[in-house]
Amino acid sequence: MKYRYLGRSGLLVSRLCLGTMTFGNDQWGCDQDTSSAIVRRFIEGGGNFIDTADGYSAGESERMLGMAIRDYDRDHLVLATKCWFPTDSAVTARGLSRKHIIDACERSLKRLGTDFIDLYQFHGPDPYTPLEESLRAADDLVRAGKVRYVGCSNFYGWQIAKANTLADAKGYERLISGQHLYNLIRRDIEREILPAAEDAGVGIICWSPLAAGMLSGKYRDQLAPDARSRMGIQASVTVPRYWFEDALKLVEKVADVAQRLGHTPSQVALSWLFGDQRITAAIIGARTPGQVGENLVAGELELPPEIRNELTAALPVNLGYPFEWTENNLRATFGRAEFEPAHTVRLP
């Protein structure tokens, strides 16, 4: 397993992060024994980074994860969880208000059976709560020793930039991570979020790195996903997101590359992510320990540059405006220096 620093911090995490959304899920998840076996396989394979959320199976994922890590040295693990989704019927039990952040953190600590959370993440943006309020609440949790680092998930690029600008100005704890949808099929974050995160010192953690299983190749030659599969159960979201002609062609390309390299499509698709050093980790979910074992190979696999470029070109992302404008005008306007200075800002 290879490790990367999470954003502009000293926190070193495995570049594969174990996702626990399957833990306790009645439709497409697993029970306690299987969840514990999945955690054991991941840790034995060198993984130290595990992600959950209070919104997964109504908190059951956190509880089951807490049970699964009881026999391991807590200080050797990096536990991440999140708040934002409703946790009960109370109108205050949701979002990023100071009240909810602090209440949700206390409940997560109890379910996880731990004294501290290594990475506490805002699960989504809250348009009704000032960002200063949310950051101050998270900062108080850090100062109280209940949280070590703060991150976000599903934020816009401008929100990432604003959050760390506010944190610097007011002396609050900065965001060190952003958890976002990113894979070979959906590369939307390359337009604004990746550049904003890099500039703000925020490391990217990719969720759905295998596109809900599409990039594993298991849906090849199917006209539609099996209704009993996770993609089938969540078809209203996953099919529009991943199931279209160009994506199906890309899956065939990944399968072809995998065969040439002697690896599985999942291993290749995961490894593609790590060719970009702005990516800190990819979240791998599993229903069996065997699935974890297969994906762990990507913890060390490095794709040759020409292979990575081949995959990148297979489904180009339209970066749109203002990238198009700068691409047309930047080189003609600048380019007079002997070499690129260290402070050069990388545009998408």
Q: Active-site positions?
A: 56
Distance CA 151, CA 167 (A): 12
- Residue 122, classed as helix, strand or coil, is strand
> In sequence order, what DSSP letters do the residues of 18-29 get, joined into one string?
EE-TTBT-TTT-
Give backbone dihedrals phi and psi of 175, rounded to 5 degrees, phi first. Answer: -70, 135
CA distance 20 to 108: 14
Ranges of beta strands (E only) in the chain are 3-5, 12-14, 16-19, 49-51, 78-83, 117-122, 147-153, 175-181, 203-207, 279-284
Residue 216 in tokens:
């594993």
166, 171, 176, 181: CA torsion to nearest 10: -30
Report whether 100 contacts 92 (CB < 8 A).
Answer: yes
The tokens 């992600």 sit on which residue? 51
